[in-house]
Amino acid sequence: MLFDLKPKEKPSDFFNYQEELRLLGSYLKDPQTRLIILRGLRRTGKSSLLRVTLNKSASKYILIDARELATLSRRSFESKLFEKLKSVKGLPAALLDRIESVEAGVRISVKREESLWELLRETKPILAIDEAQMLRGTGVDAFLAAVFDNTDCKIILTGSEVGVLDSFLGKDDPKAPLFGRMYKEIKTHPLAREKSRAFLISGFREAGKRISEEELDAAIGELDGIIGWLTMFGNLALSTKPSTALQRAAKQGALLAYSELRSFLDGRAQAKGRYLALVRILAHKSMRWSELKRAVQIELREEISDSQFTNYLHSLLDYGFIVEKEGIYELPDPLLKKALLEEITG
Ligand code: ADP
Ligand code: MG
């Protein structure tokens, strides 16, 4: 169902993004491509694209969502990998026996690591890690570099926090484990207006529900082309009338988007006021660097050095809360904008 809230698994539930689907499929078939990066803002369909592609592909794969790990550590990651290796489809019985003997402690624990490598070499699964940037600083980057160098496994990484993902990949840092490994990249984008419309129409048709032209316009006006917000609206509209569903989706989405910003701010207690002033100003109006800096200084009645101001902008860009297009900074998420403008902060 198009309006199902979970990341999509089947092509029949997956709307549009055919080019991205085709590209990802072709990179998976291409023996030269070993590392694939899927990046895009939150809720633009990365996990869905990844899952639909993996399900369609004939290859064995392991999918780990960094958010499902008990702790963000290499150890926890390796345990999860081991656990998932067991359930890889089409694993030869002999291999499965070996895994089980390792797990039962028949082999001593040093062997565990060895077995993991043996298994990866023999099984050659695609290793897909969703929201990989969360594993920055855990040593998983070094593990992946070893997978890249010593096995034939392909690796797919997705990330919403584009700058953090870059630093996980060691972009611009020759000392980083993954530095210099060649990769192919796919970006997910918000839907264009007409596509958002077509998505809603298809979803409502599939659900056997009616929606008027005005209601469609209102939803697209409020939610823009973020497929995750459109899905949330459609899903709520299954059980209530579209106008109420839109109000609820916008409110719930604004709360969710703000809570993500809040987690970011919580880790930056000292500069919190400055970050907030910055995004609030951008919620009102997109601006160039100098205009924005002036506005923030006026708002806070304090001087901020150029370098410090640039650092603030870079952090917000890295985490995907703002974007920059031709020198103009803006908030890409209409519901984060709404949360800031209407103070829907929970
Ligand atoms: P991301 O991983 O970028 O945050 P998800 O794949 O989790 O995005 O998608 C966010 C929401 O949008 C989910 O509810 C998902 O079901 C829906 N969705 C994403 N892409 C599509 C698509 N191509 N067709 C239908 N629904 C989609
Ligand atoms: Mg996702």
**In Å, what is the CA distance from 68 to each residue of 44, 79, 274?**
20, 12, 32
pLDDT above 60 for 108? no
Residue 127 DSSP one-character state: E
What's the gap in Å between 91 CA and the centre of ligand 1? Answer: 30
What's the gap in Å between 316 CA and the centre of ligand 2? Answer: 19
* pLDDT computed for residue 342 by the predictor: 97
Residues 6+ apart with CB under 8 A from 298: none
Query: Tell me: the pLDDT tens digits for 285-307?
Result: 999 999 999 999 999 999 999 99
Write down the residue that tokens 């590209």 correspond to: 23
Q: Domain 265-342 is of which CATH architecture? A: Orthogonal Bundle (1.10)
What's the gap in Å between 241 CA and the centre of ligand 2? Answer: 28
Atom of ligand 1 at shortest range from CA of 158? 2
Atom of ligand 1 at shortest range from CA of 50? 6
Q: What CATH class is the domain 193-258?
A: mainly alpha
Cβ–Cβ under 8 Å, residues 186 and 28:
no
User: Domain spans of the chain?
Assistant: 11-187, 193-258, 265-342
**In Å, what is the CA distance from 220 to each residue of 114, 208, 230, 232?**
53, 20, 8, 12
What is the per-residue DSSP string for 15-78? -S-HHHHHHHHHHHH-TT--EEEEE-STTSSHHHHHHHHHHHSSS-EEEEEGGGSSSSSHHHHH
What's the gap in Å between 161 CA and the centre of ligand 2? Answer: 11
What's the rounded mean pLDDT across residues 14-23?
Answer: 96
Categorize the per-residue pLDDT at 95 as very low, low, confident or very high, splitting at 50, 70 and 90.
Answer: confident
**In Å, what is the CA distance from 326 to each residue of 15, 125, 273, 296?**
30, 40, 27, 20
Ligand approaching nearest to the C-alpha of 189:
1
321: its two tokens = 């809360």
What's the rounded mean pLDDT across residues 217-233?
Answer: 98
Q: Please provide residue 187's backbone torsions phi and psi, each rounded to the nearest 5 degrees.
A: -115, 140
Atom of ligand 1 at shortest range from CA of 130? 2
Cβ–Cβ under 8 Å, residues 177 and 193:
no
Categorize the per-residue pLDDT at 107 as very low, low, confident or very high, splitting at 50, 70 and 90.
Answer: low
Pairing of strands 328-330, 323-325: antiparallel
Q: Which CATH superfamily is domain 11-187 in?
A: P-loop containing nucleotide triphosphate hydrolases (3.40.50.300)
The chain-wide mean pLDDT, for the chain, equals 94
Query: Tell me: the pLDDT tens digits for 253-284?
Result: 999 999 999 999 999 999 999 999 999 999 99
235: its two tokens = 């899903």
46: its two tokens = 């990365």
Cβ–Cβ under 8 Å, residues 325 and 189:
no
